[in-house]
Amino acid sequence: MQISVETTSGLERRLTISVPSETFEDQITSRLGKTAGQVRLPGYRPGKIPLKEIRRRYGPAVRAEVAGELMQSSFVEAIAREELAPAGSPSLQVVKMDPGLDFEFTATFEVFPLVELTDLGKVVVKQPQAEITESDVDEMIEKLREQRKTWANVERPAQAADQVTLDFSGTIDGEAFAGGSGEDVVFVLGAGQMIEDFDQGVRGLTVGEAGEFSATFPDDYQSEELRGKTASFSVTVKKVAESELPELDSEFFKGFDVTDGGMDAFRKEILANMQRELDAALNNQIKTQVMDQLHALHTLQLPSAMISREIDVLKNQMLQQFQMVGQGKSKGKGAPDIDLPDDLFQEQAERRVAVGLIVNEVVSSANLEPAADRVKERIETMAAGYADPQQVINYYYGNAEKLQQIEMAVLEDQVVDHILDQANVEIISASYSAVINGSAVAPAASAAADDVDASQAATPADPANTA
């Protein structure tokens, strides 16, 4: 077999592979011989069909079949001989396959880029250190009570923090507008679920009372048509309810799988959960900083085949979030077809591919392998939050695919540790809440995230979005 290698552009390589005619024809003849013993033709006894007749009838199909198999096997042999590492499947094209001529074909593919690691001492990381205080536990318990609060109807005027149920209709310049009316709309006063003027207009009303007021939509309102406009609203209050927090008793503790030990056991359970959350947040924030800087400190040529595969992965992940199935399009019954553009995922895919290549080089250069004790510790930590931890542990060790996922996650942690050993690490003191909300390492990003959360929380019950 003869091989020539050509660099067509960047990471793309084209192999021209030539297989001697004798080798090609011998394989065809052997395949035709097997075919002769398997087919049945009128006028011929089984196994007695002349090879000439078999070749006449099946020769072209067998030739194409053998050519396909020979291209695959020859390609594998060729890349091993030339020490090439394809980053994706090759595009195979026949050049010659006529009888009497050497079989020749080309294989075009991309190779992995050469990754030259930069000085890892250039990586700068903020590493928060935080301890969970008694007041942090107290605050978490109050949050848990708030999440499990109930509502009791009251007959007094509505006030801040009350839950109200009402019907409303609105007009602008005497005309109704889209989303300007609703029935049995439920929201909490002061929670930012309605525009401010609407929220204020409802306060002071009692059950059965009708009210009229004007409300101006903010200049940054999500509906451009309503920004800055003033609407006249008529409302009828149907219910006013105030919240009631649950008592810290055995019934409440039971909801958190604490059946013995009372308040002390409950606080211990909450503290353990908070510690796991804190550890996860610290690890994630440090890892994010490391990966961001690895990406920023390296410039790579990226194989387009890898980017395309990553785009497909991201597309499917997004579709799965909407309970859809398919490669870029929904196939679910009754669900709309969605064709997601590649551009939507291009930048994220490129970053993930680049970081993956850099991390692989760190693993290779440092001879890193998943540490068995860390894999065991990670699985046990994950299992601790379940009612039957041993069952979860057995599940992971009994499932090769799931175990490999844990091993890869541990290996990524080891990469981060390896880089931190050489990086410029700044230790910063922080509170539990600052670590959890991200402000300890990225206050601007955290504030932006809070703004996004607030806007998303306000969207569903805005007056113009209830129809």
Read off the pTM: 0.71
User: Which among 190, 192, 183 has a CA at the least distance from the CA of 242?
Assistant: 190
Q: What pLDDT is attached to residue 52?
A: 82
Distance CA 51, CA 444 (A): 79
Element (H, E) at 80: helix 51-82
- Please list the rounded mean pLDDT of every run of 10 residues in the chain (467 residues): 92 95 91 80 75 82 92 95 93 91 95 94 94 96 95 96 97 94 96 95 96 96 94 97 95 92 95 93 94 94 94 90 53 57 94 96 95 95 88 95 94 95 94 93 47 32 42
Q: What pLDDT is attached to residue 331?
A: 47
Question: What secondary structure, in 3-state letters, does 269-326 show?
Answer: HHHHHHHHHHHHHHHHHHHHHHHHHHHHHCCCCCCHHHHHHHHHHHHHHHHHHCCCCC
Q: In 10 A of CB 123, how many CB atoms?
A: 20
Token duo for residue 423: 């990086």
Domain-embedded: residue 121? no
Same structural domain for residues 401 and 322? yes
Q: At which residue do the structure tokens 């796991």 appear?
A: 276
Same structural domain for residues 326 and 432? yes
Domain-embedded: residue 216? yes
Distance CA 222, CA 220 (A): 6
Element (H, E) at 21: helix 21-36
DSSP class of 208: T
Provide the total of helices (H) and of strands (E) in the chain, helices listed first: 13, 11
User: Which among 264, 232, 271 has a CA at the least distance from the CA of 432?
Assistant: 271
Same structural domain for residues 271 and 370? yes
Q: Tell me phi and psi for residue 164, to 5 degrees.
A: -115, 150
User: Which among 69, 36, 65, 37 has a CA at the least distance from the CA of 53?
Assistant: 36
DSSP class of 337: P
User: CA dihedral in degrees (412, 121, 433, 131; nearest 10)?
Assistant: 90
Same structural domain for residues 106 and 151? no
Domain-embedded: residue 87? yes
Q: What pLDDT is attached to residue 340?
A: 85
Same structural domain for residues 147 and 241? yes
Same structural domain for residues 207 and 351? no
Domain-embedded: residue 447? no
Q: How far is CA 206 from the centre of its chain?
A: 47
Q: At which residue do the structure tokens 């109930």 appear?
A: 150
Q: What pLDDT is attached to residue 216?
A: 96
Contact call for residues 437 and 138 (beta carbons, < 8 A) = no
Q: What pLDDT is attached to residue 323?
A: 61
Q: What pLDDT is attached to residue 466?
A: 43
Q: What pLDDT is attached to residue 337?
A: 60
Same structural domain for residues 280 and 423? yes
User: Which among 123, 150, 225 has a CA at the least distance from the CA of 180?
Assistant: 225
Q: In 10 A of CB 409, how many CB atoms?
A: 14
Distance CA 165, CA 152 (A): 12
| Domain residue limits at 81 | 2-110
Burial of 294 (0-12, 13-18, 19+ CB in 10 A): buried
Q: What pLDDT is attached to residue 41?
A: 79
Distance CA 152, CA 376 (A): 48
User: In total, how many domains does the chain have?
Assistant: 3
Same structural domain for residues 352 and 387? yes
